[in-house]
Each structure stands twice: as structure tokens, then as C-alpha cells.
């Protein structure tokens, strides 16, 4: 929400500079909040895809997703 407030939810024109001018005329939209939100979406999707890949590889190598059956490094209780 802070990013939306910083970017102001008012309609504004994109920051286009006409040939022969040094600055855009009128009120322009701030592109930084839009870029930050898009970056957050991409990073979130990448983390989800990475986590999904880890879960899939774990299932392939161990044959289960049950954490009680994934105790490979722990000694058997019968061997104590």
C-alpha cells in the first residue's frame, strides 16, 4: 500500500518528452512505484517456482513428501 500511495493513484500521462523540450509538459506519472511492484511480482514468481522445483526434486529422490519418512540422517530407534 505504501508503494501505491507513493505513486499516487491519480490518472496521469506517461513521462514523454516532446522533441525540442527539456522536460515533460504537465503532470506525469511516476514510473518507479510501477517498476517496484513489477519487480516484486517477478521475484515472488521466481521464489514460488524455485520452491516448487525443490519439492518436486525431493519427491523424486525420496519418493515421499511426508516429513516423518524423510529422516535419512537420523539413526534408527531400534539401533539405540
Q: What is the pLDDT of residues 24-76, one digit of tens each?
A: 777 777 778 888 889 999 999 999 999 999 999 988 888 888 877 777 667 77
Of 59, 44, 12, 53, residue with least CA distance to 31? 12
Does the residue 58 lie in any domain?
yes
Q: List the domain range (segments joined by +) for residue 52.
A: 31-63
Quick one: pLDDT at residue 3? 57
Does the residue 72 lie in any domain?
no
Flag whether pLDDT at 7 surpasses 60. no
Quick one: pLDDT at residue 1? 57
Q: What are the C-alpha distances in Å from 19 to residues 12, 13, 15? A: 20, 17, 13
pTM recorded for the entire structure: 0.58
Quick one: pLDDT at residue 24? 73
Does the residue 73 lie in any domain?
no
Number of domains in the chain: 1
Does the residue 12 lie in any domain?
no
Amino acid at each position: 500500500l505504501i508503494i501505491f500511495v507513493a505513486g499516487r493513484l491519480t490518472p496521469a500521462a506517461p513521462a514523454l518528452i516532446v522533441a525540442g523540450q527539456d522536460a515533460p509538459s504537465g503532470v506525469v506519472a511516476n514510473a518507479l512505484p510501477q517498476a517496484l511492484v513489477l519487480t516484486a511480482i517477478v521475484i515472488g514468481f521466481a521464489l514460488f517456482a524455485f520452491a516448487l522445483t525443490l519439492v518436486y526434486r525431493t519427491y523424486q529422490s525420496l519418493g515421499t513428501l511426508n516429513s516423518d519418512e524423510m529422516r535419512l540422517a537420523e539413526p534408527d530407534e531400534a539401533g539405540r
